[in-house]
Amino acid sequence: MENRVLVVDDEKVIVKGLKFSLEQEGWKVDCAYDGEEALMMAGQKQYNIILLDLMLPKITGLEVCQQIRETSDVPIIMLTAKGEDMDKIMGLEYGADDYITKPFNILEVKARMKAIMRRTAPSKKSERRELVSGDLRLLQDGKRVFVKDKEIKVTGKEYDLLKLLVENVNRVYSREELLKIVWGADYPGDVRTVDVHVRRLREKIEINPGEPLYVQTKWGSGYYYKER
């Protein structure tokens, strides 16, 4: 099965270079040059990865990322000319899986893409198809989460993080451990990635995210799941 990537950037020279290089690696490459075109193409085709520029005409990259996340957990790598930490954190807040700061080396882009493909590849191990803990239920098929029989839309990484914690009730994981286990040892981001995903999870599954019942914080140590 061929791998397909959507490259979204309003700088045509960058798009042309990425398209040429990735096609040499065997990727099928589609290109979009503004946010509206990106959303239209993402809705029409299935992609293995999306390379998404932060600053786009019509609709910003962050808004595109947020809208895609409402219906899909396709891996998204943000491309940004800005190096400030806030931009990187905002990309993660909106559902991005990784970010690369311009100017970038095409070899780095390929390496990041391969790392994400390894992390998101279906596991060959035998896994439990359903996890139930109180009124929380996780289905492996489709990475679906239910709270009191109401389905909660989560991203792939949010599901993976929650599943790990639920499978290991009351075990405290440091942010570094969670980053390594869920994102992989070769993930270039830092532990704030974990904090962002925990916060998003709490906003989705908790009645009061400020006083969580499921995903708990052990101050100075990390996070754990408390069975109800």
Average pLDDT over residues 169-183: 91
- For residue 15, the model assigns a pLDDT of 95
d(CA 50, CA 74): 7
CA nearest 22: which of 43, 47, 54, 42?
Answer: 47
Tell which residue, 179, 178, 183, 174, has the closest CA to residue 217. Answer: 174
Binning pLDDT at 50, 70 and 90, where does residue 126 land? very low
Q: Indicate where the chain has its CATH 1.10.10.10 domain(s).
A: 130-225
CA distance 35 to 49: 16
The answer to whether the CB of 152 falls within 8 A of the CB of 204 is: yes
- Residue 124 binned pLDDT confidence (cut-offs 50, 70, 90): very low
pLDDT at residue 174, rounded to an integer: 94
- Taking the CA of residue 46 as centre, how many other CA atoms within 13 Å lie in the half-sphere pointing to its CB? 3
pLDDT tens for each residue of 145-160: 999 889 998 888 889 9
Q: Say which CATH topology domain 130-225 has.
A: Arc Repressor Mutant, subunit A (1.10.10)
Q: Residue 53: is its pLDDT beyond 80?
A: yes
How far is 226 from 22, CA to CA, in rounded Å? 44
pLDDT greater than 70 at residue 125: no
In the chain, residues under CATH classification 3.40.50.2300 are 4-120
- Whether the pLDDT of residue 123 is over 80: the answer is no
CATH code of the domain made up of 4-120: 3.40.50.2300
Burial group, residue 190, by CB count within 10 angstroms (0-12, 13-18, 19+): middle
